[in-house]
Amino acid sequence: NAGVTQTPKFRVLKTGQSMTLLCAQDMNHEYMYWYRQDPGMGLRLIHYSVGEGTTAKGEVPDGYNVSRLKKQNFLLGLESAAPSQTSVYFCASSYQADSNQPQHFGDGTRLSIL
Amino acid sequence: GQNIDQPTEMTATEGAIVQINCTYQTSGFNGLFWYQQHAGEAPTFLSYNVLDGLEEKGRFSSFLSRSKGYSYLLLKELQMKDSASYLCAVMDSNYQLIWGAGTKLIIKP
């Protein structure tokens, strides 16, 4: 039972480089989310999706783009990486967005921008 | 603005009881979640409260008072494996989770 799988687990980039983080879930969840987690701060929502083909901005969307071409996949792109984007990135999914449906998280991607 | 407050760190003894508090101010309320996160790992769901009162789940219980904007997570019979961060999150009126910074719980033998 894989749940939510993120690739890669670690990555080091140079400023200005681009990359894509992949999230895949096998629970047939409609909703998917990308968060970043920084020391001393709560998880912050970057972008989210309420279904295949749809995406929406979260709290901190600048510098990131996303796509949800297939229900099971949610991609997070950094077009031109900046040191401020050094963080741990978590993908999550849920059956619905409302009330008691918990979000299920992947193991995270640790990204360093030099 | 929206705000979730939790203590940064707490220390407790193996076998004891610890209470982790969470206070919140959010635009709307559609429930409060507690998650556990071991160092270097993903957050995992522990509990959910939407009505006032206590929800018990084994060694863990969670309490909510909506009028006070307050919740706590109670951990009984502490074990070394309970050493982790505990995250409080509130679902706001847009059904988005607003997260606290987490409470790092250190268990000593």
Contact criterion met (CB < 8 Å) for A42 and B4: yes
pLDDT band at B94 (very low <50, low <70, confident <90, very high): confident
| Cβ pair A73, A59 in contact under 8 A | no
Q: Which positions in chain A touch B48 (Cβ < 8 Å)?
A: 100, 102
Residue of B13, B39, B107, B29 whose CA lies nearest to B71: B29
Q: Residue A85: helix, strand or coil by DSSP?
A: helix
Q: How far apart are CA A6 and CA A92, in angstroms?
A: 10
- Is A27's pLDDT higher than 70? yes
Contact criterion met (CB < 8 Å) for B30 and A103: no
Residue A112 φ then ψ, to 5°: -120, 130
Please report the sign of the dihedral spanned by the C-alpha atoms of residue A37, residue A38, residue A44, residue A45: negative
Q: How confident is the model over A3-21, as a mean pLDDT?
A: 97
Contact criterion met (CB < 8 Å) for A100 and B43: no
Q: Residue B82: helix, strand or coil by DSSP?
A: helix
Residue A85 φ then ψ, to 5°: -90, 5
pLDDT at A1: 66
A91 → chain B, closest CA residue = B42
pLDDT tens per residue across span A51-90: 999 999 999 999 999 999 999 999 999 999 999 999 999 9
Q: How far apart are CA A64 and CA A27, in angstroms?
A: 25
- Is A14's pLDDT higher than 90? yes
B43 → chain A, closest CA residue = A105
The whole-angstrom distance between residue B101's C-alpha and the CA centroid of its chain comes to 11
Q: Which positions in chain B touch A93 (Cβ < 8 Å)?
A: none
pLDDT tens per residue across span B58-74: 999 999 999 999 999 99
B88 → chain A, closest CA residue = A42
